[in-house]
Amino acid sequence: MKNTKRVLAFLVGAAMMLPMASAEGKLASGNYEATSQGFGGAVTVKVTVTDGKVTAATITGDKETETIGGAAIKTLTEKLIGVSSADEVDAVASATVTSNAVKTALADCLRQAAGEEKAETALVDGVYTGEGRGFNLTQKVQVTVEIKDGKIVSVTVGDNGETMGMIAAVEEKWIPRVVENQSLAVDAICGATASSNGVRAAVVNALESAGMDVSGMYKAIPKVNAAEEYNVDIVVVGMGSSGTTAALAAAESGANVLAIDKAGKWGGTGVTTSGPANVNAPSQVASEIVDWKDPINGVHTKAAGEQLVDADALYATWTDYTTVDGAQGAKPELIAKVIYESGETCDWLQSYGFEFTPAVGFVGGKWAIFSSYVGQKQLTESFFAKAYDRYTEMGGQYLLETEATELIMQDGKAVGVRAIKADGTSVTINAKAVILCTGGFAGSDEMQEKYIGQAYKLFGMSTNDGKMIESAIENGAATRAIGMYPMSHFVAPTVITTQFSAEDNDIPYGLVCTAEGMAVNMKGERFINESSIAMNAFYQGNHFYYVYSKEQIDILRAQGLSANASGRYLTQGGIKADVPLTNIDTVIDAGIEAGFIYKASSLDELAAQIGGDFSADALKASVAGYNPENDAFGKDAGKFERLGTVAADSEYYVAFTGAPYIYSTCGGLDVNKNLQVLDTNGNVIPGLFACGTDSMGVLFNEDKAYTNYGGCAQSYCFVSGRDAGAYAAAHLED
């Protein structure tokens, strides 16, 4: 089972509007089974009916997110006992897609028990419109569905707030499969699951709003029994930032290259980032830059020929940061590669269609190295598209929706990969060199728990499940800083609410990131100056709590916070300063039902409700020490003015669960300066390379966190991929 934390599966109230038919006749005793479409794939319900009621039930959904849909399955299994209609089963609020799949399958089981034939779906000719929740929190996906001769002939996506590449993958792949198969059970496009489900929900909404029953439109799509084999010089596994530059550089060198990606789109996590570190790009050094935002000397005109940053000073600072107790934890030669090659690599990418803004400091930093993509992410997908157009012009090939499953090794050398396509086709790729660019392992709870010790919530590509990193380790590869903290730059509630207005939905968000409240860790200990929680919460673990007393809730209800409170992503606008949170009680009740908000009449009871290692004594000590006169973490006294302190003896307390969301893991495989993977004895594994976040641990010390100089991960992806592709192409016969 995939243990990936797909963000949109946390949405409260994002109903798929699936039919919940119930059997009207007497239910015959017996065993029944039915399947429906869940968030990630098929959900199967098996029930035993005795004396007109369900007396036993099992639910399986191997592709549902374990911590969301998987958890809901456990709850729903209990809820099925004793019912005689699917309408009697309440959905689990934080997993409505999975819940509705279970209810639809249950309704089918009960129809069978009633002796009713499953009605053939009768679609009425016409043009219908509908909407559904995709990835975007504030804008639903609009669709127009055309029915002709009783069949879906077209689905047209209208206004939506989805990421361009993700909705394009749905339009190009998912919709044609629905039309071809006349089934809504078509698997979501890997890498665009939430967008696929949003369009699916919108189609259901369009047809059901017109009075049609679509319960019969979930016929399973059989997998094919086919095999393909490719013989190439180089196979690049992953088509994100590092995979793209590896494929371009190898093809540019004249090699026969095949790139593959399990997603239905290229770009990986790279298309969701803001830009790379771009240290003294020759084009920028050579140019006069008017109104340049120099983080040291302020806004001025940079003269042509003037460098933007002291690269040697940056190198010294970086290598000093990665030195602990006199021991260097990183590989300085690879830090140097990022710093001294990033600018030239960004200029090289511009020749393939990428565009970057002049380098500036990152989030107030002093190093003028961060270059955002031109267009503020709106054009980033098009930059990758241009690069792949050039790649294919150079003779490069690629396969999307093709997941590498294991390395092919021969006499200790990597000689290819085995893979499987989304339609079930098995693929064998024989190659002289394998370049792993799979994006780390943030998409796998199992690997996070195994190597980091706990699983963090993911805001990034859940396709990055580390399968090929594990394959390399199984074949003798060494790791480097694989247990270091993952990359995190923001916090949010563990459950994202969508059932209320945008302002009310963001009440929990604002209350887990404000500087005006008190945050405690998983043990109940205060751990931070809350003014800096967004960038630093990950140090203490994968979740935390903000605790408020009744007196503070009363102030919030009447006055709100004194300052805006919001985050970078997953926000629907945030809490605005001095706006009363009049509906806070309703939101709290919904959060309690969803399982991420706790309310108790005492601190002891609150600690007991939270459970685990959360200590009532530690919480009481945190409350006692939280005051503006002598704050242990140096929080400005002004941050206490509106809400004051947490009362030691209050009528009730409320705890909101927050989490540091991560973009990616940092550590991975160990590599040398040529990006060749090393074995546990420090020797090169012939034919095997690892780039980007598959090997980024070489830049860091396992006891330290990721550097916030600005775009370092994206820069390492670009530089390492390019260098690996060029080196592999030049040494094919080694």
Write a three-state SS string for 96-130.
HHHHHHHHHHHHHHHHHHCCCCCCCCCCCCEEEEE
Half-sphere exposure of 729 (CA within 13 A, CB side): 22
Centre a 10 Å sphere on the Cβ of residue 629 and count the other Cβ atoms it contains. 7
Question: Using one digit for the tens of pLDDT, what is the confidence trace for 423-437?
Answer: 999 999 999 999 999
Strands (E), 618-696: 653-664, 668-669, 676-678, 684-690
Residue with more model confidence, 121 or 563: 563
CA dist 197 and 17 (Å) reads 12
The DSSP secondary-structure symbol of 429 reads: E
Residue 23 has pLDDT above 70, yes or no: no
Question: What confidence score (pLDDT) does residue 119 get?
Answer: 63
Residue 603 CB contacts under 8 Å (≥ 6 apart), including other chains? 616, 619, 620, 623, 648, 653
Question: What confidence score (pLDDT) does residue 18 get?
Answer: 40
CA dist 214 and 208 (Å) reads 7
Direct distance between the N- and C-terminal alpha carbons of the chain, in angstroms, rounded to an integer: 39
Mean pLDDT across 151-175? 93
Output helix, strand, coil percentages for the chain, rounded to the nearest 5.
35, 25, 45
Query: The tokens 């390399």 sit on which residue?
Result: 472
Question: What confidence score (pLDDT) does residue 8 get?
Answer: 36
Question: Using one digit for the tens of pLDDT, what is the confidence trace for 360-407?
Answer: 998 778 999 999 999 977 789 899 999 999 999 999 999 999 999 999
Token digits of residue 238: 């992953």
The DSSP secondary-structure symbol of 91 reads: P
Question: What confidence score (pLDDT) does residue 351 get?
Answer: 97
Distance of CA 28 to the CA centre of its chain: 45
Token digits of residue 359: 């380098």
Question: What confidence score (pLDDT) does residue 21 get?
Answer: 39
Contact 552, 646 (CB under 8 A): yes
Mean pLDDT across 89-95? 79
Question: What confidence score (pLDDT) does residue 41 get?
Answer: 74
The string of DSSP letters for 610-634 reads H-TT--HHHHHHHHHH--SSS-TT-
Residue 25 has pLDDT above 70, yes or no: no
Residue 17 has pLDDT above 70, yes or no: no
Question: Using one digit for the tens of pLDDT, what is the confidence trace for 549-592?
Answer: 999 999 999 999 999 999 888 889 899 999 999 999 999 999 99
* DSSP element (H, E) containing 18: none
Question: Using one digit for the tens of pLDDT, what is the confidence trace for 447-491?
Answer: 999 999 999 999 988 899 999 999 999 999 999 999 999 999 899
The strand pair at 457-458 and 653-664 is best described as parallel
pLDDT mean across residues, the chain:
92
Query: The tokens 């034919």 sit on which residue?
Result: 687
Lowest mean pLDDT among 207-211, 680-684, 694-698: 207-211
Question: Using one digit for the tens of pLDDT, what is the confidence trace for 310-368?
Answer: 999 999 999 999 999 999 999 999 999 999 999 999 999 999 999 999 999 987 789 99
Question: What confidence score (pLDDT) does residue 13 get?
Answer: 38
Question: What confidence score (pLDDT) does residue 231 get?
Answer: 99
Domains, the chain, ordered by start: 7-113 (3.90.1010.20), 126-209 (3.90.1010.20), 229-486+665-730 (3.50.50.60), 487-663 (3.90.700.10)
Question: Using one digit for the tens of pLDDT, what is the confidence trace for 229-260?
Answer: 999 999 999 999 999 999 999 999 999 999 99
Question: What confidence score (pLDDT) does residue 5 get?
Answer: 38
Question: Using one digit for the tens of pLDDT, what is the confidence trace for 286-302?
Answer: 999 999 999 998 999 99
Whole-model pTM: value is: 0.88
CA dist 438 and 469 (Å) reads 8
Question: What confidence score (pLDDT) does residue 287 get?
Answer: 97
Question: Using one digit for the tens of pLDDT, what is the confidence trace for 579-629?
Answer: 999 999 999 999 999 899 999 999 999 999 999 999 999 999 999 999 999
Question: What confidence score (pLDDT) does residue 66 get?
Answer: 66
CA dist 2 and 309 (Å) reads 43
CA dist 543 and 550 (Å) reads 23
CA dist 659 and 667 (Å) reads 21
Token digits of residue 187: 């698997």
Mean pLDDT across 98-102? 87
Question: What confidence score (pLDDT) does residue 93 get?
Answer: 67
Mean pLDDT across 40-60? 92
**Amino acid making up residue 501:** S
The string of DSSP letters for 425-457 reads -EEEEEEEEEEE----STT-HHHIIIIISSPPE
* Three-state secondary structure call for residue 475: coil
> pLDDT above 90 covers what percent of the chain?
80
